[in-house]
Chains A and B, each alone.
Chain A
């Protein structure tokens, strides 16, 4: 690392990579540090991403696409399977990717654009002067170095410690962390073109079980449940083992994946003097699905664009960086996050009986497009009884 950059990025996930490549392409000098020895490993993800969303950033490449998805199946607590067909395929079908290769590809692109990359290098402290973030102290193999920067981008994922060290409270409430375990399984009978979601308080309290195809007879089989539902004997690992025993008893597990994903509202403020917070670190993953790959890429890119502008104007105060914060909040992503948070708050209170009724109702809908928004809109039109219950959500549509 050089002693000084225009932009210093903490974290080499999709958020950090997009910030680094966008900034380098805009002509800024950029350094990116990733504390793990390998980009994207171990993975903390089910690897599903919407087609439209991904293609906003890049063309799909067989090198990192594991499976193409054109159908989603929702399984109600009573076992009833509802299929959402290709004819109604919208933004929520797409690809299951290979994040080990995908994340590395994104970081390599940042490198090609001119960013300096250093792995196995951890930011251990911010450099602060008069309340302004001016860089970070980094450490690699016991060697400590101060790196100064006009703007620091905190893209350090779910842990989000860097912003905390700068004075921003990033704590995720226990009830709003989805605690997850996933097995990469082979030798199982699956529909290779469908993502499957299992709902129910017995199966996954305040969460869901997913089966995301990774290729022939291979899938990510995982679960997320609310932290407040997790305790000894009722942890994600216990629920997953139960699910696997009854659904894929003959499958082989070739990888364990653990992780946490936040379903809380985003941070109240994602900028400070000299600091911008992106991706999971800013708590912008989707409150319903837990999806955050696109959200990280979107916020990472926008942060770099605003940083380039602010640096050119010679003002990196929180006020000057604010167009980033208001930019993502007023974007389609920002309004989806607000709406989906409210919908999630409604969904987690449903009994299995109500969930059954909902899924059965949805299956009778004539959906033009498969998206959460479309489903809720149609539900309200279809089931007058539900109208009352969904009233709180209705005003958000």
Chain B
């Protein structure tokens, strides 16, 4: 599962551009993940600040 750390996110949209599934959407300062996310972690790599994290599914 993709975890968005809102206290870190700079809502720049860099992650949105690299998501192979188009699962991320940015509305102003609010980034959201939609259903198609495969937890591939590409967005987490691209984030300039480290606001995204793929957490193990419990």
Which residue numbers of A lie inside 8 Å of B, CB to CB? 35-37, 42, 44, 122, 157-161, 164-165, 170-174, 177, 179-181, 227-228, 230-232, 235-237, 256, 258-260, 262
Contact = CB atoms under 8 A, between A and B. Distances in A.
A259 B45 contact: no
Contacts of A235: 47-50
Contact of A258 (B12, B20, B22, B45): B12
Nearest to A239: B48
Contacts of B16: 158-159, 161
A181 B46 contact: no
Nearest to A259: B12
24 contacts: A158-B13, A158-B16, A159-B16, A159-B17, A160-B17, A165-B22, A170-B17, A173-B18, A174-B18, A174-B46, A179-B48, A227-B18, A227-B42, A227-B45, A228-B45, A230-B45, A230-B46, A232-B50, A256-B10, A258-B11, A259-B13, A259-B14, A260-B12, A260-B48
Interface string B4-45: 000000111111111110100111100000000000001001
B37 to A, nearest CB: 14
Contacts of A262: 17
Interface residues of B, number: 23
A231 B50 CA distance: 8
A276 B41 CA distance: 31
Contacts of A227: 18, 42, 45-46
The 9 closest A-B pairs by CB, nearest first: A260-B14, A258-B12, A258-B10, A236-B48, A159-B16, A227-B46, A259-B12, A159-B13, A179-B48
Interface of B: 10-20, 22, 25-28, 42, 45-50
Contacts of B25: 161
A235 B45 CA distance: 8
Contact of A122 (B15, B22, B27): B27
Given A36-B28, A179-B46, A258-B14, 17 more contacts: A44-B13, A158-B14, A158-B17, A159-B16, A160-B17, A171-B17, A173-B18, A174-B18, A174-B42, A180-B14, A181-B49, A235-B47, A236-B48, A236-B49, A258-B12, A260-B13, A260-B18
A280 to B, nearest CB: 9
A227 to B, nearest CB: 4
Contacts of B19: 171
A258 B17 CA distance: 14
Among B15, B26, B49, which residue has the most Cβ atoms of chain A within 10 A?
Answer: B49
B48 A171 contact: no
Contacts of B48: 179-181, 230, 235-237, 258-260
Given A122-B27, A161-B22, A237 B42 contact: no
Nearest to B50: A235
Contacts of B47: 179, 230, 235
Given A159-B13, A260-B12, A171 B46 contact: no
A237 B17 contact: no
Contact of A177 (B11, B46, B49, B50): B46
B43 to A, nearest CB: 9
Contacts of A256: 10
Contacts of B28: 35-37
B14 A177 contact: yes
A349 to B, nearest CB: 20
A177 B15 CA distance: 9
